[in-house]
A and B are shown apart, each in its own frame.
Chain A
Amino acid sequence: MSWPQFVTVTLNGLTLAALYFIVAIGFTLIFGVLRVVNLAHGSLYLFGGYLGWSVADRTGSWVLGAVAALFVTALAGLLLQLGLLRRIHGQELREALVTIGVSIVAADLMLARWGGFTYDFSPPEVITGGLRIPLLDIGYPRYRLFVLAFAIALGLILWFVLARTRLGITVRAAIDDRDMVAAVGIDVQRLFALMFAVGAGLAGLAGVIGGSVLSISSGEDARYLLASLIVVIVGGMGSLPGTAVAAVLVALVEQYSLALFPTYAAIVSFLLMVVVLALRPQGLFGRPA
């Protein structure tokens, strides 16, 4: 691998990691607080992507599409939590099965609505186009760098909220010991609903952000669900720094293997997950269950 190629592949890995982080962070938040493994997370991603595209197409504003995706998907998540999951709360497996059922139905309905077409976003021109990287003389898409910056900003904001605000303290306490939080008089149900909405909304937002890196089409739901699962399991479920580190690890491994030995590239990230789980079942940053 030549030097410029190495730099580009590394950048590809980092920008993909940013995307994985944005998708997976909602998943890990929901799990961390509610202990719900939301297997409909990919469906929320795809729903956000489709919806954002439709809004952007109607209004001509990509930003508006992203905002719409964030809020409508958050609402969808809220309905999912209040309408279906709340009544069976605490039964981990049953909750996961419900989300599987929802994802089957959602995939079919979205296909009915948006068809088998591929949807290609047009982000604002400020963040599109190519960028020459001096010294190495290589071209790099500006949008991918934007995603990287966005992910870092999102991570910092979440870190700040979790570390410094009252809400964040409650959330962290809930991750550590839900019963105690309920016992001190905090309305846990409201916290749960809020966290589910936030997690789902982030998935929807990721649908627009990620859909603009590549494109949106049916089948992307399963792909991003698997990507989230791998990242979150490797990092440790419910851990913010774990998700960030794992996203970088998984994405770099994926891109290097695609550049070096494409034939078996598809297996490598799954193997990474298997190895981590075999050696450290709770993930790199997870607490033992």
Chain B
Amino acid sequence: MNRQERRLSRRVLLRRAGLFGLAASASALLGACAGQQATPTPAPPAASPTPAAAASPTAPPATPAAAASPTATVGPAAGEIVIGILATLEGAFALYGEEAVRGVELAVAEFGGAIAGKKIRLVKESTDATPQVAREKARKLIEQDKVDCIVGPLSGDEGLALRDYAKTIPDKTIVNGTSAAQDTTLRDPAPNFFRFSTDGVQWMAGLGTYCYEVKGYRRVATLGEDYSYPYSQVAGFLLEFCRLGGDCVAQFWVPIGTKDYSSVITAMPSDIDAIYVILGGADAVNFLKAYADFGGKAALIGGSSTIDQNVLETKGALRERVIGIPGAMPVAADNPDPAWKAWVDAYRKQFPQGLSTPSLFCWGYYVNAKGLLLGLQAVNGDLSDGQKELQAALAKVEFDGPTGHIKLDKNRQAIANNFVVEVAEGPDGNLYNKLVRVVEGVNQTLGLPEDKYLALGSFTRDNPTCEKIKQTFGS
């Protein structure tokens, strides 16, 4: 069977080669068009703090373990463990995907590229951040590349898709990448899906309290895109803020893809202390810009993506608008913890072409890969018996990661530290998130009683309201 399979794929290869040959022969003429886009335009911005951004995401990996080409051999050879990395290596998120791969490679290097004498081989597969492609590529990793375990995916809806897929492959194991939809592990979890990273609600831990107690905000409005990740971020913020007595007077949910926020800003009530904004990438930039232009007076509070390093590194005149905005996330660039510093050093050493500071995506894939490798170590790399032993061992894995202690709850979801930060200007003039408060051991219900928390139901655009939070948990 195996030989036939290889013969077939070779034939397919030939066919594809023919197809691309056709394209290549045509490309002389097409060069007119392709060339015009690639015209030698001025070099990348000199001020760019992340020169690695333009580098190929498939930059030669530093670990020998990762050097194997995905199609060189199919299926695990004797004495080898194959781990699939599922990340978004194409499109606008390619930058995140590169960081994800680095995270896994960092963890593998820590173990010397082998577990109990078995070599670790990595196979990368790219998604376009949509659930259907994530599912398809996970199937390819399992069925064609014959990986033993998968680390990934990157985004929330992909996570839900893989959780459902995990249920159909009980003798394989999936550990999360950075996907952070809460329901992936909170509701209807899969027994072989493990998440050593925290979710979108947990990422808000500490922020509501900080804004109420330190910043003194009492009345806020919220603004976010209309889908599950912003729902969970807003809920995470309100769960703390409202219990302390804060009020949320208006909520704005804009359709995905909204770029012009001017009319939303106009519609904001005037008697508020702050606006909680959860928008990512270009949307965050557009909002911040419009808000400054329209002379918005209320203070801003940022969700995890609103002030993440990707937004802070926007090319251009953003900086004055973001300094001082508080937010919360699972990593903080200037964390004084020696473990964090050692980890950052290891990252810089292994990836000289990487970012100045490893991103949230690197961290997420790193802690998940590390959890998986510790589990593999505990069972001596034994994957027989449908990985039952591995899965049992993984559930018990506890370790001190770069951001502190990480352990799993009964749903195989991480309990870990979270960080309240504020955007600040570094000595080198670059913007970064300054650590202002560490929240230790954040669990999935933010320390609230689980039955009451679950009774709130899945978070949506109108759930939970401030009133409901106060009613359920008392203020």
The answer to A–B direct touch (Cβ < 8 A) is: yes
A247 at interface (Cβ–Cβ under 8 A)? no
Residues of B14-61 contacting chain A, CB below 8 A: 29-30, 32-34, 36-39, 41-42, 45-47, 53-54
Verify A116–B94 contact, CB threshold 8 A.
yes
Bound CA span A275–B310, Å: 40
Closest chain B residue to A10 by CB distance?
A: B263
Per-residue CB contact flags for chain A residues 200-234 toward chain B (1 = under 8 Å, else 0) read 00000000000001110111100100000000000
Verify A141–B317 contact, CB threshold 8 A.
no
Per-residue CB contact flags for chain A residues 109-142 toward chain B (1 = under 8 Å, else 0) read 1110101111111100000111000000001110
Closest chain A residue to B267 by CB distance?
A: A259
A105 at interface (Cβ–Cβ under 8 A)? yes
A34 at interface (Cβ–Cβ under 8 A)? no
Verify B263–A143 contact, CB threshold 8 A.
no
Residues of B within 8 A of A282 (CB): none
Verify B315–A120 contact, CB threshold 8 A.
yes
Q: Knowing A115-B54, A259-B267, A266-B257 are in contact, say whether A47-B37 is a contact too (CB < 8 A).
A: yes
Residues of B259-276 contacting chain A, CB below 8 A: 259-260, 262-264, 266-267
Verify A118–B33 contact, CB threshold 8 A.
no
Bound CA span A102–B313, Å: 30
Residues of A within 8 A of B461 (CB): 263
B475: shortest Cβ distance to chain A, in Å?
A: 29
Bound CA span A16–B95, Å: 31
Residues of A within 8 A of B282 (CB): 118, 214-215, 217, 219-220
B290 at interface (Cβ–Cβ under 8 A)? yes
A243 at interface (Cβ–Cβ under 8 A)? no
B343 at interface (Cβ–Cβ under 8 A)? no
Q: Knowing A113-B38, A218-B92 are in contact, say whether A120-B289 is a contact too (CB < 8 A).
A: yes
Bound CA span A82–B33, Å: 10
Verify A116–B95 contact, CB threshold 8 A.
yes
Residues of B235-278 contacting chain A, CB below 8 A: 252-260, 262-264, 266-267
B311 at interface (Cβ–Cβ under 8 A)? yes
B39: shortest Cβ distance to chain A, in Å?
A: 7
B23: shortest Cβ distance to chain A, in Å?
A: 10
Verify B316–A120 contact, CB threshold 8 A.
yes
Q: Knowing A58-B42, A111-B92, A263-B226 are in contact, say whether A75-B266 is a contact too (CB < 8 A).
A: no
Verify B37–A106 contact, CB threshold 8 A.
yes
Residues of A26-62 contacting chain B, CB below 8 A: 43, 47, 50-51, 53-55, 57-58
Residues of B within 8 A of A106 (CB): 33, 37
A257: shortest Cβ distance to chain B, in Å?
A: 9
Verify A113–B41 contact, CB threshold 8 A.
yes
A188 at interface (Cβ–Cβ under 8 A)? no
User: Which one of B47, B53, B263, B315 lies within 8 Å of A119 (CB-CB)?
Assistant: B315
A288 at interface (Cβ–Cβ under 8 A)? no
B318 at interface (Cβ–Cβ under 8 A)? yes
Bound CA span A9–B313, Å: 31
Verify A118–B264 contact, CB threshold 8 A.
no
Bound CA span A265–B281, Å: 21
Q: Knowing A139-B294, A217-B92 are in contact, say whether A258-B37 is a contact too (CB < 8 A).
A: no
Per-residue CB contact flags for chain A residues 93-106 toward chain B (1 = under 8 Å, else 0) read 00000000010011
Bound CA span A75–B37, Å: 11
Bound CA span A13–B260, Å: 10
Bound CA span A134–B10, Å: 74
Verify B314–A118 contact, CB threshold 8 A.
yes
Q: Knowing A57-B45, A139-B295, A140-B294 are in contact, say whether A116-B313 is a contact too (CB < 8 A).
A: no
Verify B263–A255 contact, CB threshold 8 A.
yes
Bound CA span A13–B47, Å: 35
A83 at interface (Cβ–Cβ under 8 A)? yes
Q: Knowing A47-B37, A57-B42 are in contact, say whether A118-B259 is a contact too (CB < 8 A).
A: no
Verify A217–B281 contact, CB threshold 8 A.
yes
Residues of A238-266 contacting chain B, CB below 8 A: 255-256, 258-259, 262-266
A76 at interface (Cβ–Cβ under 8 A)? yes
- Which of the listed residues A47, A119, A214, A255 has the most CB atoms from chain B within 10 Å of its own CB? A214
Residues of A within 8 A of B34 (CB): 105, 109
Q: Knowing A53-B315, A116-B95, A117-B314 are in contact, say whether A214-B259 is a contact too (CB < 8 A).
A: yes
Per-residue CB contact flags for chain B residues 57-76 toward chain A (1 = under 8 Å, else 0) read 00000000000000000000
Closest chain A residue to B286 by CB distance?
A: A214
Verify A122–B41 contact, CB threshold 8 A.
no
Residues of A within 8 A of B37 (CB): 43, 47, 76, 105-106, 109-110, 113
Verify B315–A118 contact, CB threshold 8 A.
yes
Residues of B within 8 A of A120 (CB): 285, 289, 314-318
A107: shortest Cβ distance to chain B, in Å?
A: 9
Per-residue CB contact flags for chain B residues 296-326 toward chain A (1 = under 8 Å, else 0) read 0000000000000011011111100000000
Residues of A within 8 A of B96 (CB): 116
Residues of A within 8 A of B39 (CB): 72, 76
User: Which one of A5, A76, A215, A256 lies within 8 Å of B289 (CB-CB)?
Assistant: A215
Residues of B within 8 A of A105 (CB): 30, 33-34, 37
Residues of B within 8 A of A218 (CB): 91-92
Bound CA span A139–B92, Å: 34
Verify B255–A116 contact, CB threshold 8 A.
no
- Which of the listed residues A16, A51, A117, A266 has the most CB atoms from chain B within 10 Å of its own CB? A117
Verify A12–B266 contact, CB threshold 8 A.
yes
Residues of B387-425 contacting chain A, CB below 8 A: none
- Which of the listed residues A82, A223, A258 has the most CB atoms from chain B within 10 Å of its own CB? A258
B212 at interface (Cβ–Cβ under 8 A)? no
User: Which one of A53, A115, A130 lies within 8 Å of B294 (CB-CB)?
Assistant: A130
Closest chain B residue to A264 by CB distance?
A: B255
Residues of B within 8 A of A119 (CB): 314-316
B360: shortest Cβ distance to chain A, in Å?
A: 15
Using a CB–CB cutoff of 8 Å, the interface residues on chain B facing chain A are 29-30, 32-34, 36-39, 41-42, 45-47, 53-54, 91-96, 226, 252-260, 262-264, 266-267, 281-282, 285-286, 289-290, 293-295, 310-311, 313-318, 461
Q: A5-B267, A258-B254, A262-B258 are in contact. List 5 more A-B contacts (CB 8 A).
A: A9-B266, A116-B93, A120-B315, A128-B293, A265-B254
**What are 13 inter-chain pairs, A to B, with CB distance below 8 A?**
A8-B266, A54-B45, A55-B41, A79-B36, A105-B30, A120-B314, A121-B317, A122-B316, A130-B294, A220-B282, A258-B254, A264-B255, A266-B256
Using a CB–CB cutoff of 8 Å, the interface residues on chain A facing chain B are 5, 8-9, 12-13, 16, 43, 47, 50-51, 53-55, 57-58, 72, 75-76, 79-80, 82-84, 102, 105-106, 109-111, 113, 115-122, 128-130, 139-141, 143-144, 213-215, 217-220, 223, 255-256, 258-259, 262-266
- A-B pairs, top 8 by smallest CB distance, nearest first, are A120-B316, A139-B295, A141-B293, A83-B32, A116-B92, A266-B255, A217-B282, A118-B282
